[in-house]
Amino acid sequence: MADLRINLAGIESPNPFWLASAPPTNTGYQVQRAFEAGWGGAVWKTLGDPILNVSSRFAAVNFNGQRVAGFNNIELITDRPLEVNLQEIYETKKRFPNHTIIASLMVEPRQEKWHEIVKRVEDVGVDGLELNFGCPHGMAERGMGSASGQVPELVEKQTFWVKEVAKTPVIVKLTPNITDITVTAEAAVAGGADAISMINTINSLAGVDLDSWNTVPNVAGKGAHGGYCGPAVKPIALNMVAECARSPHINVPISGIGGISNWRDAAEFMLMGSSCVQICTAAMHHGFGIVEDMIDGLSNYLDEKGLASVMDLVGRSVQRYSSWGDLDLNYKVVAQINNDVCINCNKCHIACEDTSHQCIDLYTESGRPMLKVREDDCVGCNLCSIVCPVDGAITMVEKKGLSPMTWNERQALMGQYASTTILK
């Protein structure tokens, strides 16, 4: 059986599955139950000056019968005094010394505020700190969370202040509400971060009630933007992790967060450079027990792949993620339809005819309706195989094309033959 223990910037954990800083890690009772269930670590719900919350805090986006495809919240950081949280952290760590407890922190961008909270939190024996520069709602209006996480100078400065006094590893949690997350990731590294985590939630409005015209959720008839998470955000998060992982300027480990719902998602994040993963929405949807399947699934997968340790998985796909300009322009795949499996719903034909490249022909053979791809005209967009409801009916197959050439190679070549005048 593969070794599931991980090490993130010196923080050791019995497995890569951590609960993210959020409602599931609000109290010692919850975190201890999570550890009993098998979670390797927990990032305690963000500590700071205790806030006041509103009622009606969460909303979900369901899609085509899937409940909680996306999740929106307007809950803020902890509303409990620091002393209460610290006592529970201490008790939890004492009971579970081999499990990982990270304290998520958020205070005003002032050196003395950071120094104070870091010292007090580390005194109770946390394994590391996570600086919450990502929370997009409420706290951002007060200059904290994503408001400071969107300003690289503030990310660097606050990380530096924390590192001035921190004795445990410092993880900087980044906001996705920014054009290029590598910029703030680099700022965190410049400030001395030992690791980075991403993504926090995405600015969102879950919906509008068509009867009342109120927002969803609403607080006495008024709404405010929340933070979006859950399965819907996974591709956004995975890209941000990958962009940081492949950046030569970001040389610290990553804790991946964003829509991770099962072991497969976790493995994808680890392949793209995450040393561990943090999970919230799936636990809120299904309970702490989901970690059991995650551990089993990941363990079996590692055994199948012949990997002795889960750390052997970390970053294995990063080199396969590149810039568009380095992709081979001449690589070619085309769709092939298996008419023995096809149910003649014609969704592929409609999709191709209406919205792609008009290369799937309808014809009749022995009185039976058939579909055929004109391979010469197929650009390999994949749309037909995406909309096809039957597994195995449409396969994308590689075809021999011209010799490989990337856009960047092409442009370099073109530059040597470029005309300075318009040719006619």
Quick one: which segment of 126-134, 147-155, 285-293, 406-414 binds other proteins (CB under 8 A)? 406-414
Quick one: which segment of 31-39, 51-59, 318-326, 403-411 binds other proteins (CB under 8 A)? 403-411
Is 364 a residue that touches other proteins (CB under 8 A)? no
SS3 readout for 261-329? CCHHHHHHHHHCCEEEEEECHHHHHHCCCHHHHHHHHHHHHHHHHCCCEHHHHCCCCHHHCCCHHHCEC
Whole-number CA gyration radius for the chain: 25
Is 5 a residue that touches other proteins (CB under 8 A)? no
Quick one: which segment of 106-114, 165-173, 195-203, 413-421 binds other proteins (CB under 8 A)? 413-421
Is 390 a residue that touches other proteins (CB under 8 A)? no
Quick one: which segment of 50-58, 170-178, 297-305, 410-418 binds other proteins (CB under 8 A)? 410-418
5, 285, 357, 372: which one contacts other proteins (CB under 8 A)? 357
Q: Give, as ranges, the residues between 131 and 160 that touch other proteins (CB under 8 A).
A: none
122, 214, 405, 408: which one contacts other proteins (CB under 8 A)? 405
Q: Give, as ranges, the residues between 48 and 87 that touch other proteins (CB under 8 A).
A: none
Tokens found for residue 236: 């956004």
Is 374 a residue that touches other proteins (CB under 8 A)? yes
Is 377 a residue that touches other proteins (CB under 8 A)? yes
- Map residue 216 onto helix, strand or coil: strand
User: Quick one: which of 172, 82, 173 has its CA closest to 123?
Assistant: 82
Least distance in Å: CB of 324 to other proteins? 15
Q: Which residue, 213 or 417, has its beta carbon nearer to other proteins?
A: 417
Asked about 384 being catalytic, the answer comes back as: no
Is 400 a residue that touches other proteins (CB under 8 A)? no
User: Amino acid identity of 137?
Assistant: H
Query: For residues 287 and 282, what is the distance between their CA atoms, to the nearest angstrom?
Result: 7
CA dist list (Å): 81 to 38, 78, 181, 380? 28, 8, 32, 58
SS3 readout for 40-87? CEEEEEEECCCCCCCCCCEEEEEECCEEEEEEEECCCCCCCCHHHHHH
Is 418 a residue that touches other proteins (CB under 8 A)? yes
Least distance in Å: CB of 329 to other proteins? 6
Omega prior to 16 cis, within 30 of 0: no
- Interaction mask 304-343, other proteins, x per CB under 8 A: -------------------------xx-------------
Query: For residues 17 and 196, what is the distance between their CA atoms, to the nearest angstrom?
Result: 16
Q: Which residue, 392 or 404, has its beta carbon nearer to other proteins?
A: 404
For helices 152-165 and 181-190, what crossing angle results, to 10°? 30
Q: Which residue, 51 or 333, has its beta carbon nearer to other proteins?
A: 333
Q: Which residue, 89 or 334, has its beta carbon nearer to other proteins?
A: 334
DSSP 331-400: -EEEEEE-TTT-----HHHHHHHHHS---EEEEEETTEEEEEE-TTT-----HHHHH--STTSEEEEEE-
| Residue 231 zone, left/alpha/beta (φ > 0; ψ -120 to 50; rest) | alpha
Q: Which residue, 66 or 330, has its beta carbon nearer to other proteins?
A: 330
Is 220 a residue that touches other proteins (CB under 8 A)? no
319, 376, 391, 400: which one contacts other proteins (CB under 8 A)? 376
Quick one: which segment of 142-150, 311-319, 365-373, 374-382 binds other proteins (CB under 8 A)? 374-382
Q: Which residue, 213 or 363, has its beta carbon nearer to other proteins?
A: 363
Quick one: which segment of 11-19, 87-95, 145-153, 409-417 binds other proteins (CB under 8 A)? 409-417
Which residues make beta-bridge pairs with 382? none
Is 354 a residue that touches other proteins (CB under 8 A)? no
Query: For residues 197 and 191, what is the distance between their CA atoms, to the nearest angstrom?
Result: 15
Q: Is the alpha carbon torsion for 260, 266, 270, 271 positive or negative? A: negative
Which secondary structure element, helix H or strand E, spans residue 204, and what is its range?
Answer: strand 202-204
By rule CB under 8 A, what count of residues binds other proteins? 21
User: What residues act catalytically?
Assistant: 135
Binding-site ranges for other proteins (CB under 8 A): 329-330, 357, 359, 374, 376-377, 402-403, 405, 410, 413-414, 416-419, 421-424
